[in-house]
């Protein structure tokens, strides 16, 4: 039994790989190690994974390289599950370089879908979508049955396109496929472009913390440990008929101002807050209904924001001390 994980050096991919390896699974990791954010973080994650004899790594650009040629035939025959987390992230970044999102999120999705047709032992394809697909929806909490035809960013367009591609692929070829709509994942080894990480870095350095104006800005912050548990459970629950979509969220939206206050206490420094208008690409509120995944697997998030940020803050401080 071998599990193929794309985006293995990314935040979620790395975290899932660590769990799979700890469970004794054999993992093939793919990543292009791009420079969207500091690649040192990616190579450091990768180095941890490579400590396991059950992990092998291939540096591959899904949008450019021939997966069939890159993955040896004997490896393809052993792959039982594909976890596809490789993507170009960043809501506001998609307004600057939309072509990069076409390459990574649409071309990359197509490459993985086509690869699955040549994996004879494959049981389930699980891929990363995003809460961003809910766009400008006003009804809360967000449910998988909601309309998702009013995107608020080009990033959301590419992630919704990936969902439609997966649905069509299942219709044409019959492979069980599940898309996971992740809600604001945070925690140790996280992405430096995420707001919570930026806030921590600014507080630590004594630099201004930019918050958007308005008192209602809130996010359904979801700790990476809960996300990993959800992925592992979903992997063993392929849909019996059709393609499925599942929200992966904490089901407990928190004001962004509370997140900053917690970081202030945990980092031992006061934030220098600067208010700015909210960009049109950023939604005001996210909140995941998790009834569907709870009914399917029994999964329930267990990490509250305070304790979840404590694990991140400790990791962040340790990393800052090592890199200073």
| 311 vs 315: CA distance, rounded Å | 6
Task: Let me know if 280 is exposed, middle or buried by CB neighbors in 10 A (0-12, 13-18, 19+).
Answer: exposed
Select which of 37, 134, 155, 196 is catalytic: 155
Contact 178, 125 (CB under 8 A): yes
For residue 67, cis peptide bond before it (omega within 30 degrees of 0): no
| 293 vs 309: CA distance, rounded Å | 24
HSE of 101, CA atoms in CB hemisphere, 13 A: 20
Q: What's the distance, Cα to Cα, between the start and end of the chain in Å?
A: 42
DSSP secondary structure code for residue 142 in this structure: B
DSSP secondary structure code for residue 41 in this structure: H
| DSSP-assigned letters across all residues of 99-141 | HHHIIIIIIHHHHHHHHHTT-TT--EEEEEEEGGGGTT--SSS
| 258 vs 255: CA distance, rounded Å | 5
DSSP secondary structure code for residue 220 in this structure: -
Work out whether strand 26-31 and strand 208-212 pair parallel, antiparallel, or are unpaired. unpaired
Other C-beta atoms closer than 10 Å to the C-beta of 234 total 21
Radius of gyration in angstroms for the set of CA atoms belonging to the chain, rounded to a whole number: 19
Told to judge if 155 belongs to the known catalytic residues of this protein, a careful annotator would answer yes
DSSP secondary structure code for residue 269 in this structure: S
Which positions are catalytic?
Answer: 155
């Amino acid at each position: 039994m071998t599990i193929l994980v794309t985006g293995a050096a990314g935040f979620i991919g790395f975290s899932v790989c660590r769990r799979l390896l700890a469970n004794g699974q054999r993992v093939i990791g793919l990543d292009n190690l791009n420079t969207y954010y500091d690649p040192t973080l990616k190579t450091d994650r990768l180095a941890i994974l490579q400590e396991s004899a059950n992990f092998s790594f291939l540096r591959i650009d899904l949008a450019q390289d021939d997966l069939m040629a890159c993955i040896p035939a004997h490896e393809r025959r052993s792959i039982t599950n594909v976890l596809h987390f490789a993507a170009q992230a960043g809501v506001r970044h998609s307004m600057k370089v939309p072509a990069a999102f076409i390459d990574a999120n649409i071309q990359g999705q197509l490459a993985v879908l086509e690869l699955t047709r040549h994996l004879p032992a494959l049981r389930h394809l699980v891929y990363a979508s995003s809460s961003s697909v809910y766009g400008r929806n006003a009804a809360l909490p967000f449910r998988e049955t909601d309309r998702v035809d009013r995107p608020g960013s080009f990033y959301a367009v590419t992630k919704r396109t990936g969902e439609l591609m997966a649905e069509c692929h299942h219709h044409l070829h019959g492979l069980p496929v599940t898309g996971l709509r992740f809600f604001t994942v945070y925690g140790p080894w996280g992405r430096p472009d995420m707001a919570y990480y930026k806030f921590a870095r600014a507080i630590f350095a004594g630099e201004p913390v930019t918050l958007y104006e308005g008192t209602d800005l809130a996010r359904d912050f979801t700790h990476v440990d809960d996300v990993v548990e959800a992925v592992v459970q979903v992997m063993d629950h392929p849909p019996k008929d059709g393609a499925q979509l599942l929200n992966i969220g904490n089901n407990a939206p928190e004001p962004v101002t509370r997140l900053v206050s917690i970081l202030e206490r945990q980092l031992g420094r006061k934030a220098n807050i600067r208010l700015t208008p909210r960009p049109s690409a950023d939604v005001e509120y996210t909140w995941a209904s998790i009834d569907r995944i709870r009914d399917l697997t029994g999964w329930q998030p267990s990490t509250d924001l305070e304790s979840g940020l404590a694990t991140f803050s400790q990791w962040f401080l340790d990393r800052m001390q090592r890199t200073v």
